[in-house]
Amino acid sequence: MKKIIFFILFMFPFYIFSELIKEDRKIDEYGIPLKFINGYEIDLNLDKKIDMVIYVQIGEKYTLIAMLNKGEKYEGYILNESERLGRFFTDWQNEVTSTEAGPGQNNAKTYKIPGPCIVFSILEVSSVVYYWDKGKFNEIWTSD
Q: Is residue 37 part of a domain?
A: yes
Polymer length of the chain:
144
- Cα 13 to its chain centre, rounded Å, is 25
- Cα 92 to its chain centre, rounded Å, is 16
Q: Is residue 121 part of a domain?
A: yes
Q: Is residue 14 part of a domain?
A: no
Residue 97 near residue 109 (C-beta atoms within 8 A): yes
| pLDDT in 10s for each residue of the chain, 144 residues | 444 444 444 444 444 445 444 455 455 566 777 899 999 999 999 999 999 999 999 888 999 999 999 999 999 999 999 999 999 999 999 999 998 765 555 678 999 999 999 999 998 889 999 999 999 999 999 987
Q: Is residue 3 part of a domain?
A: no
Q: Is residue 21 part of a domain?
A: no
DSSP 8-state code for residue 49 = S
Q: State which residues form the domain around 89.
A: 28-143
Specify the pTM.
0.75
- Between CA 58 and CA 40 the distance in angstroms is 18
Long-range contacts of 127-135 (CB under 8 A, 24+ apart): 127/99, 128/80, 129/93, 129/96, 130/66, 130/79, 130/80, 131/44, 131/96, 132/44, 132/45, 132/46, 132/66, 132/68
Residue 118 near residue 129 (C-beta atoms within 8 A): yes
> Residue 3's CB: how many other CB atoms inside 10 A?
8
Q: What total number of domains does the chain contain?
A: 1
Q: Is residue 135 part of a domain?
A: yes
Q: Is residue 123 part of a domain?
A: yes
Q: Is residue 7 part of a domain?
A: no
